Amino acid sequence: MKVSKAILGAAIGALLTGSAMADTIKVGIIGPFSGPFALQGKNFQAGVEAYMALNGKSVKGHDIEVIYRDLPAANPAQSRALAQELVVKEKVQYLGGVYFTPDAMAITPLLKQANTPLVIFNAATSAIMTQSPLVVRTSFTTAQTTSPSGKIATERGVKKVISAVSDYGPGVDAEAAFKKAFEAAGGQVVEAIRMPLNTTDFSPIMQRVRDSGAEAVFAFLPSGPTTLGFVKAYNETGLKQAGIKFFAPGDLTQESDLPALGDGAVGLLTTFHYAVSHDSPENKKFVEAATKAVGGADQLSFPSVGAYDGMHVIYKMIEATDGKQDAQKAVDAVKGLSWTSPRGPVSIDAETRHITENIYLREVVKGPDGKTYNKEIQTFPNQKDPGLATQ
């Protein structure tokens, strides 16, 4: 092992001198840039490019270089290999991106040794934050975006809700978060249905919703064809006409899916941290820049804003460390950081390192141009992640 120790030393040496001498600071972004989730990866890229277009490509004289690595689906082993390569070979000082939770989980054990912070642009499970003190997250958690809908439901006079979620991690999280929030507000979840992930025929589910006597249905499904099928079934089986309300987190009505959902989506109530239609000067500037980067206004959705704010955090970290590689100092520097994001006022919680943000209730409405969009109709300010707060 003598020789390998020498290599180890050389690697560490290269790492240290590389970062101290170089004027270019590298940021490695891991995301799904190909395959079925390519659009989400493209939104990562759009957010990053929009931020760099609006805020320049250097901080305090240090040039920033972004290196993208593709991870098409949840694959922790591949994720770890990519992160390791980015750190050891490309000598990145910051890691960012990560769409799926298991991929983030695979990277966290490396961070301390790599002396690299990880800024998560999406992966939305509460537990990631507890895995390493060098993780900062600028997206949301399912519990965070879901919880307000419990209050909203009771406010709208709904006492009994049936929940229907896809049977996988985020679905089960959403079910639990809604149940907790709704029961705390005095409501009752009469039945909790878990649907297999690849369900495409939802009419039996709709029948169960109808039979349960609930006044509203709370749903969570992965975005894409399944959501489409679910919303279609909700409309076509007459549940909508029967006045059964529909609550869901905003993943279901993300902007890039709205054209496919068509008029059927009109009237759906979702809670989320960002709508492309958000009315603020910051968002106008962001949407303009990000649209240019993503290639079409229809394709812009929430991962882009996570990436945009993630880059903001990374820029602040570089500023604080003046280009020197010091992960702990970088992370400490952004604890409690607050700024105005395209989604509204946000801050990094000093304790959990997760973003505190407004959650909006949005209704899908038809715009004057005939296209549907998410219209924000109510704001729940400064929501923390309830999943982390309870731990």
Shortest Å distance, C-beta 132 to another protein: 11
- 365 is an interface residue for another protein by CB under 8 A: no
Q: Which two tokens stand for residue 270?
A: 């979702």
Q: Which is nearer to another protein, 106 or 143 (CB)?
A: 106
- 186: phi > 0 → left, psi -120 to 50 → alpha, else beta; which? left
DSSP letters spanning 24-61: EEEEEEEE--SGGGHHHHHHHHHHHHHHHHHH-SEETT
Shortest Å distance, C-beta 272 to another protein: 21
Residues 123-142 that bind another protein (CB under 8 A): 125, 127, 131
Q: Which is nearer to another protein, 114 or 252 (CB)?
A: 114
Q: Which is nearer to another protein, 50 or 66 (CB)?
A: 66
Q: Is 280 exposed, middle or buried (0-12, 13-18, 19+ CB in 10 A)?
A: middle
Give dist(CA 21, CA 18) in Å, integer: 6
Shortest Å distance, C-beta 229 to another protein: 20
- 328 is an interface residue for another protein by CB under 8 A: no
Please give the single-letter amino acid code of residue 268: L
- 96 is an interface residue for another protein by CB under 8 A: no
Residue of the chain from 4, 296, 368, 370 that contacts another protein (CB under 8 A): 4
- 333 is an interface residue for another protein by CB under 8 A: no
Nearest CA among 287, 288, 254 for reference residue 374: 254
Q: Which two tokens stand for residue 90?
A: 């490309």
- 76 is an interface residue for another protein by CB under 8 A: yes
Shortest Å distance, C-beta 252 to another protein: 18
Give dist(CA 308, CA 341) in Å, integer: 8
Give φ, ψ of 20 to 5 degrees: -75, -35
Residues 177-236 that bind another protein (CB under 8 A): 196
Residues 22-51 that bind another protein (CB under 8 A): 33-35, 38
Shortest Å distance, C-beta 74 to another protein: 6
Q: Which is nearer to another protein, 80 or 366 (CB)?
A: 80
- 109 is an interface residue for another protein by CB under 8 A: yes
Residues 146-175 that bind another protein (CB under 8 A): 167-170, 172
- 106 is an interface residue for another protein by CB under 8 A: yes
Query: Order of strands across the sheet with 94-97?
Result: 58-59, 62-70, 24-31, 94-97, 118-120, 135-137
Which residue is listed with tokens 């903001």? 312
- 69 is an interface residue for another protein by CB under 8 A: yes
- Measure CA 24 to chain center: 28
Give dist(CA 331, CA 218) in Å, integer: 37
Binding mask 250-289 toward another protein (x if CB under 8 A, else -) reads ----------------------------------------
Give dist(CA 182, CA 186) in Å, integer: 6
Chain residues binding another protein by CB under 8 A are 1, 4, 7-8, 11, 33-35, 38, 68-70, 72-78, 80-81, 84-85, 87-89, 101-102, 105-106, 108-110, 113-114, 125, 127, 131, 167-170, 172, 196
